[in-house]
């Protein structure tokens, strides 16, 4: 398929694909999108940038799955505060070699995830990049102010929980790099890297419960993301290595790749599960509530302690792991 002839054609294709939303006063086509904010609620705004060669590799990341991931990682930030995503902005700096087929597939994936979560695409920008493609997404959400959960709220004695297996996206990336992405045994792990799932319904259930004191999505690895919560809350944390949920297929992949499954869980990143803290006396109540409402199981991996830093206890030894996950410019 031939590439679009110019920026106006690209915008027209995106506008036609996006459609319209009844919640908007003005959408794509004007200088700004315009929407009303309901009373007694707060607005949430998040943005994320994905750079070719840093966040994705077109050698193994198909455009449809890349579109899905670009939407999902931003919606995950809204889920991490317990909010409802509403609108999205998409800015594309496209490499000179892109074509219309690639763009159409990307938009199919991107808009599919938006539709799964009731989000409307309301604008953005398109430019040509000199070299690699860059994808920038902004998502706007809302929620009742009383339900808002931030990173700042963890207290000594709280239990630290996560919402699912960790390290699987890092394992999937390693398998892609080894050329094993198409082997049937590894599809769960490869999907975790190529097509992560934002935990919106779970985030809402946790926020509405009123039992969660601090929350964060797991984008950079347990070691770094828990450190963010601790820094904002002015506390420390102790993580028990034998409590971190690692799937059997992750352990198998670690053997194939010559990697540590625990290291993938602590520092691999991009799992987009939720990390949160709960009072010790409320853990059982919250686990029952989540199981009944979502069918999900939660995993207690440690506790909040006095002081500073995140520590890992493994085989009777304790070591600090603060900010040992992925970090740009380090």
Q: What is the DSSP string of 263-323?
A: HIIIII-----EEEEE-GGGHHHHHHHHHHHH----EEEEEEESSSEEEEEETTEEEE-TT
The architecture CATH gives domain 7-147: 2-Layer Sandwich (3.30)
Whether the per-residue pLDDT at 180 is higher than 50: the answer is yes
Q: How large is the average pLDDT for residues 40-69?
A: 91
Cα–Cα nearest to 94, from 106, 86, 82: 106
The model carries a pTM of 0.88
pLDDT, average across residues 38-46: 82
Give the phi and the psi of residue 60 in degrees, each rounded to 5: -135, -5
Least Cα distance to 236 among 297, 155, 161 occurs for 155
Pairwise CA distance, residues 233 & 241, whole Å: 23
Phi and psi torsions of 157, nearest 5°: 100, -20
Q: How confident is the model at residue 329 (pLDDT cuts 50, 70, 90)?
A: very low
Query: Helix, strand or coil for residue 253?
Result: helix
Q: What is the largest CA-CA distance in the chain?
A: 64
Domain residue spans of the chain? 7-147, 159-320
Number of other CB atoms surrounding residue 274 within 10 Å: 27
Q: What is the pLDDT of residue 118?
A: 96
Higher pLDDT, 326 or 156: 156
Transcribe 88-129 into DSSP letters: EEEEEEE-TT--HHHHHHHHHHHHHHHHHTT-EEEEEEEEE-
Assign 24 a pLDDT band (cuts: 50, 70, 90).
low
pLDDT at 1 > cutoff 60: no
Helix orientation angle between 248-257 and 187-194, rounded to the nearest 10 degrees: 90
Give the pLDDT of residue 175: 97
CATH architecture of the domain covering 159-320: Alpha-Beta Complex (3.90)
* Tokens of residue 100, six digits: 């219309």
CB atoms within 10 A of CB 203: 28
Q: Which of 300, 320, 82, 298 is nearest to 224 (CA)?
A: 320
**Alpha-carbon span 45 to 144, nearest angstrom:** 14
Interval 139-169: pLDDT, tens: 999 888 889 899 999 999 999 999 999 999 9
């Amino acid at each position: 398929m031939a590439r679009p002839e110019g920026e106006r054609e690209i915008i027209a294709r995106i506008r036609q694909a996006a459609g319209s939303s009844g919640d908007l006063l003005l959408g794509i086509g004007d200088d700004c999108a315009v929407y009303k904010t309901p009373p007694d609620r707060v607005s949430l705004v998040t943005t994320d940038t994905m750079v070719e060669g840093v966040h994705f590799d077109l050698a193994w990341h198909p455009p449809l799955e890349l579109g899905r991931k670009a939407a999902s990682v931003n919606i995950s930030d809204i889920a991490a505060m317990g909010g409802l995503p509403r609108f999205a902005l998409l800015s594309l700096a496209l490499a000179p070699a892109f074509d219309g087929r690639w763009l159409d597939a990307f938009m199919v994936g991107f808009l599919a995830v938006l539709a799964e979560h009731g989000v409307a695409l309301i604008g953005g920008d398109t430019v040509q990049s000199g070299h690699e493609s860059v994808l920038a997404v902004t998502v706007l959400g809302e929620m009742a102010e009383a339900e808002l959960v931030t990173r700042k709220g963890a207290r000594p004695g709280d239990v630290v929980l996560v919402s699912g297996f960790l390290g699987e996206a890092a394992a999937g990336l390693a398998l892609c790099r080894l050329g094993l992405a198409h082997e049937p045994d590894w599809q769960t792990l490869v999907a975790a890297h190529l097509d992560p799932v934002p935990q919106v319904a779970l985030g809402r259930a946790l926020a509405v419960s009123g039992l969660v004191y601090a929350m964060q999505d797991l984008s950079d690895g347990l070691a770094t993301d828990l450190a963010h919560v601790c820094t904002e809350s002015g506390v420390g944390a102790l993580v028990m290595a034998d409590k971190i949920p690692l799937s059997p297929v992750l352990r198998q992949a670690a053997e194939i790749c010559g990697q540590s499954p625990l290291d993938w869980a602590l520092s691999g990143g991009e799992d987009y599960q939720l990390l949160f803290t709960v009072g010790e006396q409320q853990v059982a109540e919250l686990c029952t509530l989540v199981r009944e409402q979502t069918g999900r199981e939660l995993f207690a991996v440690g506790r909040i302690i006095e002081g500073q830093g995140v520590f890992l206890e493994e085989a009777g030894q304790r070591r600090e792991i603060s900010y040992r996950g992925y970090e740009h410019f380090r």
